[in-house]
Amino acid sequence: MRIDTTPIIRLEDYRPSDFLIDNVELDVKLHPTETRVIATLAMRPNPEGRTDAPLVLDGDELNLRTVALNGRTLAAEEFEASPQSLTIAQAPRQPFTLTIETEINPTANTKLMGLYRSSGNYCTQCEAEGFRRITYFLDRPDVLSVYTTRIEAERDDAPVLLGNGNPVESGTVQGSDRHYAVWHDPHPKPSYLFALVGGRLGRLSKSFTTLSGRAVELAIYVEPGKEDRADYALDALERSMRWDERVFGREYDLDVFNIVAVSDFNMGAMENKGLNIFNDKYVLASPETATDMDYAHIEAIIAHEYFHNWTGNRVTCRDWFQLCLKEGLTVFRDQEFSSDERSRPVHRIAEVKTLRARQFLEDSGPLAHPVRPSQYREINNFYTATVYEKGAEIVRMLKTIIGDEDFRRGMDVYFERCDGTAATVEDFLNAFADVTRRDLSHFARWYEQSGTPRVKVKGQYDSGAQTYRLDFAQSTPPTPGQPKKDAMAIPVALGLVTHDGSPLNATCDRVDARGVFLFDKPEDGITFMGVTSLPVPSLFRGFSAPVKVSLGLPDEELLVLLRHDTDAFNRWQAAQTVAMRLLAARSTGAEVSHAQIDAFSAALASFMESDAQKDPAFAALVITLPSEADIAQEIGQNVNPDAIHRARTEMRRRIGLSCANHLRRFHESLADTGRYSPDATSAGRRSLRNASLDLLAAADPSEGESLAVRQLESASNMTDRLASLSVLTTLPGAVREEALARFGERYRNEPLVLDKWFTLQAAIPEDGTLERVKGLMQHPAFSIANPNRVRALIGSFAMLNQVQFNREDGAGYRFLASVVLRTDELNPQLAARLLTAFSTWRMMESTRRSHAEEALRSIAQKPNLSRDVGDIVSRSLE
Ligand code: ZN
């Protein structure tokens, strides 16, 4: 096993910085390979720091030219410098000015952290620790400074120059072909929120007036010629700003708000103050190039980054252990926004699907960690589903427990108290504890304890007494570093449903006015009175807590919920639970009678008959079976992905056959009208149409093929076109190959569309796919240095293609290991993300398990691994 010797950083070791930086003046002379940065830092000792400490500034691959203290250039013996740090042993005990000149090479920066070039443009990425790749600094989020940035570049090379805050001055550099711009950000901020951009960019803009009448110029900068593809993003920005005013009372606080789209970016987007930088796939959209899902993601991410202006920027994090303070809360806010703009139940189901697929998976494997981790080796490895998605669920549970009004009051108090500070999770919870006078210390355990709690429920009806009793028991399995678990405070939103859907006047004094029972002991039970007939319990309505539930009800009773529950989430959940039972049983060779499958198909058919037209988006979710990865997770051990694939394919076929009439009707009646709109209602119709096509093709491949080909040829938007191509990828043969070739040709100059094409092919569940993927790595549009391309092709192969990544001969694992090692030399963050695909290795059957272990060990053995990859590989093997 690899012994990782990189130091561990621990929450308990936190201490305030010994020095502070009140003011930063940056002078950046952009050059492709020799960019000069002069940083003038107004510093002072921190009254809360140690009095005898040396001044140690962080660096990363920096090249120091000169350093001056209070204007006097320091001699070599007065400081110590390396690419990683700059130390001044005898720093003054009163305020002083430090001037540092560094030289950096943006063209050579393939890690995409710090200052780098993307398609010839200059841009920066500083979260979490990228600012130290620009200049030496106290690069930690609790050091807040006011920044003024002067950016200079050759005018032809970079006609657009952008910085944080407001523009204050611009002009020509006398006697040269260079120009400059000065930006000033009056809001003190940590260095991770710094950004600058220089390049040749097109612009789309709009003015906005805030609630209190402040004029703001909104602008989105994109590759010239693609301005019209930014209109949806700009509209989403405006709607986000209005929503935050209306729902949280939060206004924007600068004269401009700029967004720049870049094509090389490690993550989705970044909330730099007044200058958000986005992965271009989350900005650019047109009906011809983007799917409904792309539009929904753009809306959510635009909102997310904008909402950070208050949750992240105005109130930032004391240290990186508090990452969920900004990320979990901001995900919660963007989810609420999307729910208000779209369909709340449909959006909730989508959120829970991703939570289960990504966070539950993480929480059950070697990379499990608390929402607020207590230690890390590499912070970049903690931008996880747990911090983001489970972090959002905690905020949602808090709101469920205390109610909407107190939640809003608590948020107001949080903003008021913490504005302009670097805060902690405790500060956040205290605001709500004070407002409600509740003790939230037990609830706070959600931040500390990792693992997904399991809740077992048993129901018992007493017809004589007309009572219904529910017994709850909870437990959380051990996770790395946490062998023993305590009981959690779990809000259970619940109700009782009668077999014929008639209303029931049952009461229970343990259930509050909002229908919530707080289950906070290892075991507890509640009794409903006035229950006049045998009910079906509807538990965890709206998915009121991130737990796994088991309830021993027969399929027929669960399906009562699909028909009669008032809670849409649980209607969907009922169908999923029954499908999952059948699929898991089939995949593990257990007996499943035809009658059971027929009963489920019949329930789906009657649901389609009665409900599908009312809410097509919801219906599409109901008729879509759990994914192969979901089934693997449910089985949990000795997994054979081939058996899962066979079981799921067979079940799709059976449902397709028995519901064929409905499915054909949906596919026909919801056909493309030629007028595309990305709104949720239109998107919902397309999703039911395409889910229907998928099942039809499973039932009758030749009918499916001809329907898909026709749809592919006539589609007027990318959603329908891609959906039909996706159906064709499940049908081997010349028609598929021809369709793929034509699609690739048609979009050869559209990298974001080719990403979808890479993904579809990487996900084909056939033996030839590994060779196909290797071949596509030679495609002219593919680049191992571009994160979007790598994730679309290699990431999709590893994460979406259960049968081929987990090939029995281990070739899928060896392939991924080789790509991880290659990528690690260029971009460690990207490599580490790809590597997380191995986190399911222990749940595989033994042959696959040993191949995966061997592949992981082959990585662990390599000398000079990045800290990012070293950390993931060693935790994966622990
Ligand atoms: Zn965020």
Residue-wise pLDDT tens digits, 78-93: 999 999 999 999 999 9
In whole angstroms, what is the distance from residue 376 CA to residue 48 CA? 25
Give tens-digit pLDDT for 733-754. 999 999 999 999 999 999 999 9
Taking residues 653-677, what's their average pLDDT? 95
Taking residues 758-787, what's their average pLDDT? 98
Strands 256-262 and 275-279: parallel
In whole angstroms, what is the distance from residue 29 CA to residue 313 CA? 27
Look-up of token digits 């200079």: 152
The token duo for 369 is 């960690």
| 537 contacts 515 by C-beta, under 8 angstroms | no
Position 659 scores a pLDDT of 98
How many A from CA of 331 to the centre of ligand 1? Answer: 7
Of 559, 552, 539, the closest CA to residue 499 belongs to: 559
* Torsion angle of C-alpha atoms 610, 614, 618, 622, degrees rounded to 10: 10
Residue count of the chain: 878
How many A from CA of 113 to the centre of ligand 1? Answer: 17
In whole angstroms, what is the distance from residue 77 CA to residue 326 CA? 42
SS3 track for 300-330: HHHHHHHHCCCECCCEEECCHHHHHHHHHHH
How many A from CA of 304 to the centre of ligand 1? Answer: 6
Position 608 scores a pLDDT of 98
Position 323 scores a pLDDT of 99
How many A from CA of 399 to the centre of ligand 1? Answer: 20
Indicate the DSSP class of residue 593.
-
Taking residues 841-849, what's their average pLDDT? 98
Burial of 819 (0-12, 13-18, 19+ CB in 10 A): buried
Strands 121-125 and 145-154: unpaired
Residue 566 has pLDDT above 90, yes or no: yes
Position 511 scores a pLDDT of 98
Residues contacting residue 755 through CB under 8 Å, at least 6 positions apart:
281, 788, 789, 792, 793
Indicate the DSSP class of residue 338.
H
In whole angstroms, what is the distance from residue 632 CA to residue 641 CA? 7
How many A from CA of 117 to the centre of ligand 1? Answer: 23
Report the run of H or E that residue 705 belongs to, with start and end.
Answer: helix 701-714
Q: Could you give phi then psi for residue 577, rounded to 5 degrees?
A: -60, -45
How many A from CA of 310 to the centre of ligand 1? Answer: 11
How many A from CA of 90 to the centre of ligand 1? Answer: 39
Sequence-ordered alpha helix ranges (H) in 231-354: 231-248, 292-307, 323-341, 344-354
- Would the CA dihedral through 56, 58, 61, 65 be positive or negative? negative
How many A from CA of 828 to the centre of ligand 1? Answer: 21
How many A from CA of 44 to the centre of ligand 1? Answer: 31
| 38 contacts 99 by C-beta, under 8 angstroms | yes
Confidence bin at 672 (pLDDT 50/70/90): confident
Taking residues 14-25, what's their average pLDDT? 98
Q: Could you give phi then psi for residue 54, rounded to 5 degrees?
A: -70, 160
| 219 contacts 203 by C-beta, under 8 angstroms | yes
Give tens-digit pLDDT for 111-130. 999 999 999 999 999 999 99
Give tens-digit pLDDT for 368-416. 999 999 999 999 999 999 999 999 999 999 999 999 999 999 999 999 9
Of 726, 683, 689, 685, the closest CA to residue 705 belongs to: 726
Give tens-digit pLDDT for 477-516. 999 999 999 999 999 999 999 999 999 999 999 999 999 9
In whole angstroms, what is the distance from residue 572 CA to residue 617 CA? 12
Confidence bin at 873 (pLDDT 50/70/90): very high
The token duo for 523 is 């075991």
In whole angstroms, what is the distance from residue 704 CA to residue 163 CA? 52
Give tens-digit pLDDT for 462-477. 999 999 999 999 999 9
How many A from CA of 540 to the centre of ligand 1? Answer: 27
In whole angstroms, what is the distance from residue 390 CA to residue 395 CA? 9
Give tens-digit pLDDT for 99-110. 999 999 999 999
How many A from CA of 319 to the centre of ligand 1? Answer: 15
| 60 contacts 132 by C-beta, under 8 angstroms | yes
Residues contacting residue 54 through CB under 8 Å, at least 6 positions apart:
87, 88, 89, 90, 91
Coil, strand or helix at 197:
strand
Of 493, 486, 479, the closest CA to residue 367 belongs to: 479
Confidence bin at 674 (pLDDT 50/70/90): confident
How many A from CA of 510 to the centre of ligand 1? Answer: 37
How many A from CA of 232 to the centre of ligand 1? Answer: 20
Coil, strand or helix at 219:
strand
Residue 1 has pLDDT above 80, yes or no: no
Give tens-digit pLDDT for 221-241. 999 999 999 999 999 999 999
The maximal CA–CA distance of the chain, rounded, in angstroms, is 97
Taking residues 842-865, what's their average pLDDT? 98
Residue 539 has pLDDT above 80, yes or no: yes
Q: Could you give phi then psi for residue 340, rounded to 5 degrees?
A: -70, -35
* DSSP states of 459-505: EEEETTTTEEEEEEEEE---BTTB-S-PPP-EEEE-EEEETT-----
Give tens-digit pLDDT for 573-602. 999 999 999 999 999 999 999 999 999 999
Q: Could you give phi then psi for residue 207, rounded to 5 degrees?
A: -95, 155
In whole angstroms, what is the distance from residue 16 CA to residue 533 CA? 62
Look-up of token digits 């070791």: 13
How many A from CA of 271 to the centre of ligand 1? Answer: 7
Confirm whether pTM is higher than 0.90: yes
How many A from CA of 308 to the centre of ligand 1? Answer: 7
Indicate the DSSP class of residue 844.
B
The token duo for 748 is 């050869």
How many A from CA of 269 to the centre of ligand 1? Answer: 8
Position 673 scores a pLDDT of 86
Give tens-digit pLDDT for 283-322. 999 999 999 999 999 999 999 999 999 999 999 999 999 9
In whole angstroms, what is the distance from residue 749 CA to residue 747 CA? 5
Angle at which helix 641-658 crosses helix 660-669, to 10 degrees, equals 80
Position 12 scores a pLDDT of 98
| 559 contacts 622 by C-beta, under 8 angstroms | no
Strands 548-551 and 454-462: parallel
Position 2 scores a pLDDT of 54
How many A from CA of 838 to the centre of ligand 1? Answer: 25
Position 3 scores a pLDDT of 60
How many A from CA of 20 to the centre of ligand 1? Answer: 26
Phi and psi based region of residue 174 (left: phi greater than 0; alpha: psi -120 to 50; beta: remaining): beta
Position 328 scores a pLDDT of 99
Report the run of H or E that residue 25 belongs to, with start and end.
Answer: strand 19-29
Give tens-digit pLDDT for 180-201. 999 999 999 999 999 999 999 9
Nearby residues for ligand 1 (ion, Cβ within 5 Å): 327, 330
Compute CA distances 521 → 224, 471, 494, whole Å.
59, 12, 17
In whole angstroms, what is the distance from residue 248 CA to residue 425 CA? 19
Indicate the DSSP class of residue 7.
P
Indicate the DSSP class of residue 159.
S
How many A from CA of 390 to the centre of ligand 1? Answer: 13
Give tens-digit pLDDT for 141-181. 999 999 999 999 999 999 999 999 999 999 999 999 999 99
Residue 852 has pLDDT above 80, yes or no: yes
> Percentage of the chain surpassing pLDDT 90?
99
Give tens-digit pLDDT for 589-636. 999 999 999 999 999 999 999 999 999 999 999 999 999 999 999 999
* Torsion angle of C-alpha atoms 793, 795, 798, 804, degrees rounded to 10: -10
Residue 4 has pLDDT above 80, yes or no: no
How many A from CA of 29 to the centre of ligand 1? Answer: 30
Confidence bin at 425 (pLDDT 50/70/90): very high
What mean pLDDT is reported for the chain? 98
Residues contacting residue 407 through CB under 8 Å, at least 6 positions apart:
398, 399, 432
Of 24, 45, 151, 150, the closest CA to residue 90 belongs to: 45
Position 682 scores a pLDDT of 97
> Percentage of the chain surpassing pLDDT 70?
100
List, by residue number, the catalytic residues: 305
Of 812, 780, 807, the closest CA to residue 794 belongs to: 812
